[in-house]
Amino acid sequence: MIGWRLYRGLSPVSASSERAPDAQWFGANPRLLRDIRGAAAEAIIAALPDLVASYPYTDRYNVWPGPNSNTFTAYLARHLPELRLSMPANALGKDYIATGWTLTRSPHGTGIQLSVSGMMGFLVGPQEGLEINVLALTVGLDPLGLAINLPGIGRIGRARRP
């Protein structure tokens, strides 16, 4: 998801193998959210072209509240539950679902999420704990992982295994 592509009359979604997937972005190093290898990774990679083509927000990009690159990643995770991807609490836009009241699976695939046009909602699941989203900012408690999630800061406490 590249917002400036939209301003040039192109779709913000750009799928390419020309750039390294773990390259720096605006000088920031990437953060590994999940490591999948072998046959499982090959199956996920094979599913990506059709899933990317089905992304519903190809005509817009907004840093807040979304849709943005975090919205895109969460969309992929919701539709590929084998990813088991938990999005960081400070990934602004991860909870953006623009279709009114929506009940769906969490990006990790083991919980549920209620969203009200991406502006408020909650998420509960064994990997995520409990998260409350207000105006696209996330506050959460992960009792099993002994951590809290704060807007703009992210997770404070023990790291979770996928």
Does residue 68 fall inside a structural domain? Answer: yes
Q: Token pair 């991860």 is at which residue?
A: 94
Average pLDDT over residues 22-50: 87
Would you state the pLDDT for residue 132? Answer: 94
Task: Tell me the average pLDDT across 22-44.
Answer: 86
Distance CA 159, CA 104 (A): 25
99 located within any domain: yes
Residue 70: give the domain boundaries. Answer: 3-157
- Does residue 114 lie in a domain region? yes
Asked which of 15-29, 127-141, 145-159 is least confident by mean pLDDT, the reply is 15-29
**Of the listed ranges 106-115, 140-149, 150-159, the one predicted with least confidence:** 150-159
Model pTM? Answer: 0.83
Mean pLDDT across the chain, nearest whole number? 86
Q: Is the pLDDT of residue 37 over 90?
A: yes
More confidently predicted of 14 and 101: 101
Quote the pLDDT of residue 1.
66
Dist. CA 144–CA 32, nearest whole Å: 21
- Residue 47: what pLDDT? 94
Burial of residue 110 (CB within 10 Å: 0-12, 13-18, 19+) is middle
Comparing 3 with 71, which gets the higher pLDDT?
71
Q: Domain tally for the chain?
A: 1
- Tell me whether residue 162 is in a domain: no
